[in-house]
Copies of this chain bind each other. A is one copy, B any other.
């Protein structure tokens, strides 16, 4: 793309990812988000009005010519979007923003393809600093990869190459690190609620645990009864839990004891009970 030419982007989607990326892209020098597509015209308009000069559309047949078509819709809807796109210029890039969908879903578009995956969770109404988001990029060829990486670099200092296998592995890592930990926080909140204690009493402890995990490593920061192999405390804890909570307690405790070699039983080392 010559430097003196405005880069035209069509953003397909108006959900969390699109709402974070479209304004950040539109704010870059020499970049213009020209259209926002959503099946809901209201949502498309709502996002388009946050941009300098973008048109809201609710039909993919109205898609304008662009250098980049950025598909930021739910995983299951990507293939439908691709097949509904009118033919695009051979030089144009069609990219999706999903961590769990392969680049091959885009191949029917007959143009340059790529993946532009921001590793962040997006919620309506919540501003996220795009500058701190790690982007994971894949392109159908080196030129396309370079083009998408350069675009990501202009928004964020953290840009990585990642093929489909790497993205899938990252996604499962994120499930452990975020979705599962969030569920454990929900269980902790349940336990505290029994005594009328608000969940946020855990916030200083959690902030500190998170800080330790990122300054050293989670392994080095591990503490607690399972880390110490303190079966007396673990037995007492188990009595305070319901069956479902106790199963999780046992399995993760055993997994910790196995990692740090504090396991003191004949149970198998995976934590099976």
Contact = CB atoms under 8 A, between A and B. Distances in A.
Interface string A236-251: 1100110111011101
Interface residues of A, number: 90
B252 A180 contact: yes
Contacts of A252: 180, 183-184, 248
B174 A205 contact: yes
Contacts of A237: 168, 171-172, 175
Contacts of A134: 201, 204
Contacts of A126: 212
A52 interface: no
Interface stretch (A43-51, A62-70, A82-90, A223-231): A223-231
Interface centre among A223, A225, A255 (most CB of B within 10 A): A255
Interface centre among A123, A133, A169, A178 (most CB of B within 10 A): A178
A272 B251 CA distance: 11
B199 A170 contact: no
Contacts of A185: 176-177, 181, 213, 218
Contacts of A188: 173-174, 176-177, 218
A53 interface: no
Given A133-B204, A199-B213, A248-B251, 8 more contacts: A119-B204, A171-B237, A172-B191, A182-B212, A183-B218, A183-B226, A183-B255, A243-B270
